[in-house]
Structure 1
């Protein structure tokens, strides 16, 4: 199976060592990125930029996701470009404002989705080449993040959370083997990642209480790891 390319890792490194002011949270669908993002946003006093701007069934992003899950070969290329462009705009805004912020998906993770789809034969080689060319061009305008937080969960845990959140049709349409392929790409990528400090957080079911809140022990663990990376509450 093709993995996140070492050539692309090297391209990121060639952009220089200067960091932007972002903490990026990444992981497979249903990992708990939004939960961690909201928690850290409140705990650290930092704004959160979310992957889905609206969870409503009628949002553009949700409509496109529904189309993708129903016919991935038809919609994979355009939806990947859409999400990539949204992430790029968020990063550019953070850098322009010069303030600290949190992103609940990295621009690097975006390529993992595109590569997973391509490896599964749901995106053509030409479409994937165009996607990579657009990504490479965008990376010349942005800096690497201050910190990466990788949310590690099993596929079973992720699928359970997806079903519980009942977001449009995704719970019925996301294939298990797609999630397994995506998680394999993420694991390999995280091991390679060396652009900034990084944290792996185990966020399986035991991390949440019955009300869906992060347990205190886990929240303290995450905050300590973030503090060790040089982040404190904004004042």
Structure 2
């Protein structure tokens, strides 16, 4: 297990702390293990987690929309992107209004990676992508940057294996491998350029998990130690 520290100018982020909300955001491709990391952090730090899928039920609106999207990406790409973007914006407004620490298992900043990937694959029109980006950047003017970004890096093989194991509706059969490869490539580019808050990167391939698919205790400690310096002193966790 290797931890890569990628925040190169910590002092600047500390000075700008007043302009940050109290969220720890976790990002990575589908099946990376964001929810797994989010839940253990939520338990250990005693802070709530805001999940991308509010309801794991196969009949939830989000899951129904995902099934439609994977079956016909061109038809449903724009509306599903707006749906998830709106959900993330509502979560961030709630976090900022209540002034509490919270964990998000995908960031509003990473949301654009999906729209970008779909657009590049010809499954979202230029006009739809323009409208989506305009909406996103309008929203970003009304929220603060998070305390820290945790980026979970896994291979496409690992991600696809985990997607199939979790059996969430029919996504394991519907998600194309080449879509995942494009998504991972764009995530790598995005992470290198992201500079709104401190960021740490973790390899969470199978060696980081135990036989039950849970994060190993040693890895949990590494993650906690990695994010500790970037949490504001008045909100120390």
Query: What is the TM-score normalised by the length of structure 2?
Result: 0.90
| 1:218 matched residue in structure 2 | 219
Instruction: Write out per-residue CA displacement over residues 6-36 of structure 1, whole angstroms, 9 at most, x where no aligned residue.
Output: xxxxxxxxxx871011000000000000000
| 1:93 matched residue in structure 2 | 94
| Structure 1 segments of 4+ aligned residues over 6 angstroms from their partners | 231-235
| 1:150 matched residue in structure 2 | 151
- Give the deviation of 1:195 after TM superposition: 0.7
| 1:122 matched residue in structure 2 | 123
| 1:13 matched residue in structure 2 | none
- Give the deviation of 1:228 after TM superposition: 2.5
Instruction: Write out per-residue CA displacement over residues 75-96 of structure 1, whole angstroms, 9 at most, x where no aligned residue.
Output: 0000000000000000000000
Point out where structure 2 has 5 or more consecutive residues left out of the alignment: 1-15
| 2:134 matched residue in structure 1 | 133
Q: Is the 8 A contact 2:147 2:231 kept in 1?
A: no
| 1:102 matched residue in structure 2 | 103
Task: Give, in whole Å, the separation in 1 of the partners of 2:192 and 2:157.
Answer: 22
SS in 1 for 2:169: coil
Point out where structure 1 has 5 or more consecutive residues left out of the alignment: 1-15
Task: Give, in whole Å, the separation in 1 of the partners of 2:110 and 2:120.
Answer: 15
Q: Is the 8 A contact 1:45 1:234 kept in 2?
A: no
| 1:84 matched residue in structure 2 | 85
Q: Is the 8 A contact 2:148 2:231 kept in 1?
A: no
- Give the deviation of 1:137 after TM superposition: 1.0
Query: What is the TM-score normalised by the length of structure 1?
Result: 0.91
Q: Is the 8 A contact 1:26 1:109 kept in 2?
A: yes
Q: Is the 8 A contact 1:29 1:158 kept in 2?
A: yes
SS in 2 for 1:149: strand
- Cα RMSD, aligned residues only: 1.5
Q: Is the 8 A contact 1:66 1:168 kept in 2?
A: yes
Task: Give, in whole Å, the separation in 2 of the partners of 1:128 and 1:143.
Answer: 24
Task: Give, in whole Å, the separation in 1 of the partners of 2:231 and 2:172.
Answer: 37
Aligned pairs (5 A) from 1:1-235: 18-230=19-231
SS in 2 for 1:108: coil
Deviates more, 1:133-142 or 1:22-31: 133-142
SS in 2 for 1:62: helix
Task: Give, in whole Å, the separation in 1 of the partners of 2:229 and 2:218.
Answer: 17
